[in-house]
Structure 1
C-alpha cells in the first residue's frame, strides 16, 4: 500500500478538520464500495485539483515564488514545483488578458480561474477577487451582449456608486479608444446580474470607450450569486450564449 502526505492531496480546509481528529497519525481511508466513475469525479476532487493547479501555474508565471505558493496552499515546495513545472499542465492553457483567452478557459471549465488571474495580475484588484470567493458564484461567458443593457457604476459623475477622479477616468477611456481603433484584442467586461439588472463590475472605462466608438455589442462575462438569477438570465438571454468568437 502506498502512503501519501495529506498536505499534498487534501484541500487545506479538509486537512484542518482531519488534523483535529487524527493529526500526526497514520490514517487509512477506504475506497468507496462502488467506483464506477474515475477517481475524483464523485467527490469533486478531480475538478478541485484541476482548478487549484491552474491558479498555481498562473500565479507562478506572474512571479509568485514556490515558497509563497506552498504557504498559501498548504503544500510542500516539492509538490508545488511538480505542478508549476509540469510540461503537460503548463502547456495546456496560456493565460492572456483578452477575450480569446477567456473563451479558451471557459471551454476548459476554468472561466473562474481566468477571472481571478485577470483581476489579481492585470487589474491589480485583489479586493474584488477576494470578494468573489465569499459567495457561490454562477458564471457565463464570454457572451456578446448589447451594451444598452449594461449600467456603469464607476466614474466621475456624482451619482456613481464608485466615484473616481475625472482626469484619470478620461485618460483610461482614451487609452481604450485607441486600442479599439487599432483592433486590439480586448478583455471582456465583467458584469453582475441581479434581479434582472446588469451592473458593470470591472472595466467601466472600456465600456465608456466602446460607447463613444459607437460599438453596440461586446463580449462580457456575467456572474450572479443565486441559481434563480442564473436561470432567469439563461431564460431571457439565451440567444447571446450562442456567441462564437470570430
Structure 2
C-alpha cells in the first residue's frame, strides 16, 4: 500500500493547468491524468447551485472521457428539441464545458445540461465532447463491453 501511495503522490505534473469551466480546460486536465480533479472543481466551484449534481461530489464515481459522444444515444427525458435557437455561435459551444452524461443500466442520461443538449439538437450537432459518469461496477463492465472501444477521445479543442 505504501508503494502505491508513493507512486501516486510522487507523480510529477510537468504542465501547469488552470481550471476554467470550459472544454479546453477539461481536455488539459484529462491530458495530464487529472479528469477527476477537473470534475470536482466544476461541480464545487461552477455548478454550486445544482442540487442534481450534489451526489457526484459525495459518492465514488467512474469517469470516462472527454470523448466525442453521439447525442442520439442520450435518452430524450426532459429535452425540449423544439423552440428557437439561441444567438450562440460555434465559439460559444467551444467555451462551454463538456456535457456530463450518466450511464446507468445500459442507457445514457443527460445529468444537468438539458439546455445545452436542446441547443445542440436544434443545431443538428451529431457529436459533442462529453464526460461519461458511472457509479456501479456492472455499469462499467457493460459500458466497456458495448462502448469501450468505439468512442474517440478529444485531445484538443
What is the TM-score of this pair, normalised by structure 2?
A: 0.78
**Count of residue pairs the alignment pairs up:** 154
CA distance 1:122–1:208, shift in 2 (3 Å): same
Q: Please give the root-mean-square deviation of Cα atoms over the aligned residues, in Å.
A: 3.3
* Equivalent residue, structure 2, for 1:245: 156
Encode CA deviations 1:125-153: one digit per residue, 9 max, x unaligned: 36344311333211011110110001244
Task: Please state which structure has a larger fraction of its residues in helix.
Answer: 1
Alpha-carbon distance in structure 1 between the residues aligned to 2:124 and 2:145: 28
Task: Please state which structure has a larger fraction of its residues in strand.
Answer: 2
* Equivalent residue, structure 1, for 2:6: 40
Alpha-carbon distance in structure 2 between the residues aligned to 1:148 and 1:211: 9
* Equivalent residue, structure 1, for 2:33: 109
Greater C-alpha radius of gyration = 1
Indicate conservation of the 8 Å contact 2:79/2:118, yes or no.
no
Alpha-carbon distance in structure 2 between the residues aligned to 1:145 and 1:224: 15
Alpha-carbon distance in structure 1 between the residues aligned to 2:153 and 2:93: 23
Encode CA deviations 1:38-97: one digit per residue, 9 max, x unaligned: 8633xx6x28xx9xxxxxxxxxxxxxxxxxxxxxxxxxxxxxxxxxxxxx98x7211121
* Equivalent residue, structure 1, for 2:116: 206
What is the TM-score of this pair, normalised by structure 1?
A: 0.52
Encode CA deviations 1:3-22: one digit per residue, 9 max, x unaligned: xxxxxxxxxxxxxxxxxxxx
Question: Which residue, out of 98, 103, 106, partners 1:196?
Answer: 106
Unaligned runs of 5+ in 1: 1-31, 51-87, 157-169
SS at 2:88 equivalent: helix
Encode CA deviations 1:162-196: one digit per residue, 9 max, x unaligned: xxxxxxxx79x72xx51337664321110100111
